[in-house]
Amino acid sequence: MKKNYVVAGAILLSVNMLAQEQPKVDSLKNYYEIQEVNIFGKDKNEGPIHKVDVQLIQDFNKTNVVDAVNLLPGVSITQMGARNEGSILVRGFNSLRTPVFFDGIPIYTPYDGNFDLSRFTTFDIHSISVEKSLVSVQYGPNTMGGAVNIVSRKPVKALDIDGQSGVGFADGTGVNSYFTALNIGTRQDKYYIMGSASLLKVDNYLISRKFDGTPLQPSLERVNSESMDVRLSAKFGYTPNKTDEYSFSIISQNADKDIAPNALKAGNSNWRNYPTYDKRSMYLKTRTLVANKTFLNFTGYYDTYYNKMKQYDDDQYTLLNKNSSFSSVYDDYSLGGILNLTTEAIKNNVITLSVNNKFDSHKEHNEEILANTST
C-alpha cells in the first residue's frame, strides 16, 4: 500500500541538578523554536491554541500524553477499539482529522492512520500544544479538526539533569504502578546533547465500585490490563551562530500491553494482548538563514512500526488453535520530508513556501505464515 502526499502553500521523588551558568537568552522559547510549528496571520492568537508545559505535567503527575492532554479545555480522551488504543478527540474529531505531531513530524501507523497515544510517555517532553482553529497547510494533510504538537525536551544549561521516580496507588488495592526516568544534557556555545531513558509499569487499573462482579471480571482490578513502556531517546544539536540550528534525534519505544476482554459475555470476548508494540524514529531538523529575514527549514524523518497482536483460544492466554485465533504482525515504516522557505523581508508580510512529502509502507502477515514481501 502506497500513500504519497504533496502539499504546497501558506509518592513522587524528583531530582533537578542545574549548573550555575545562566542561559544566554531571557526565555526558553528560543531553545524550542526549531521544534514548534509557528503560524502567522493574527496580531494575537492565544484563544484557539492551548499548551501544557512540563511543569504542569509533573505537578499533576501525568505520565502519558493522553492523560496530559486531558488537562486542556475542549479535548476529550478515550480508550477505543478492539486494540484498546488511547486517543484524543478535539471538538469531536479523532486523530484521523486531528493529527498528532512529534516535533512537527506526523505520528500514525500506515495501516489505518490510528495509533496508541498512551504509549507516548511524558518524561522527555517539554510541552504539548493543541491548535483548534483553522490550521496552516504547513502541518500537512488531514487537519480538519486541528493539530496537536508534542515538543521534546532540550537542555538549556551547561549541565542539565532531571530525574523522576515514583509509584502509583489504586484506591483499596495499594500500589499498582511505578515509573522512573532520567534526562541528562549539556548546552554549550555551539552544540547541545540530551539523552533520556524512562520506564513506566502499570499492573492494572480499577473499575467502578458500583460494578457487580462477573465470572470474567470478579474483582475491582481490571482483568488483563497490564502494560509496560520503555523509552530511550537522544538528541544532538549544532548551533553555529545565533540564527541557525541543526539537530538529529533518535527515539526508541518498546511496549508490552494487555487488552482487557469483555467482562460480561464469554462468547463475545476477545482474549488478546500486544506482546510487541515498538516504534523507532530518526529525524533531522534544520533552520538556516539564507537571506535577510529569510529562513530555510527542513525536516527529514524515518519511522518504523513493528507491532504484534495475539488472539488466544480462551482466558488462559496460551493456545492459538481455533480458527479465530491468530498472531498478527505489522511491519510498517514511513519516510518523509518537510521543506519550508519563509521570509519577512517585505514589511508587514510573512510569506512561506511549504512542500510536504510522505511515503508509507505497510506489510502484514500471520506469524505462522511467511511474511508478505510486497508493500
Range of the domain at 173: 3-366
Q: pLDDT for 293-302, tens place per residue?
A: 999 999 999 9
Can you list the positions of beta strands (E) in 132-259? 147-152, 160-170, 174-187, 191-202, 227-238, 245-259
Dihedral sign for Cα atoms in the order 108, 117, 272, 309 = positive
- The model's pTM: 0.82
Task: Quick: pLDDT tens for 261-293.
Answer: 888 877 767 899 999 999 999 999 999 999 999
Q: What are phi and psi of 219, to 5 degrees?
A: -125, 180
- Nearest alpha-carbon partner for 203 in 164, 167, 163, 253: 167
Give the number of domains in the chain.
1
pLDDT of residue 232: 97
Whether 373 is covered by a domain: the verdict is no
- pLDDT at residue 336, rounded to an integer: 95
**7-31 pLDDT, tens digit each:** 333 344 444 444 444 444 455 666 6
When pLDDT is cut at 50, 70 and 90, the band that residue 41 belongs to is low
| Helix (H/G/I), strand (E/B), else coil: 247 | strand
User: What is the phi/psi pair of residue 137, to 5°?
Assistant: -70, -10
Residue 258 lies in a domain: yes
Asked if residue 374 belongs to a domain, the reply is no
Q: Are 246 and 237 in contact (CB under 8 A)?
A: yes
> The domain spanning residue 46 has which CATH number?
2.170.130.10
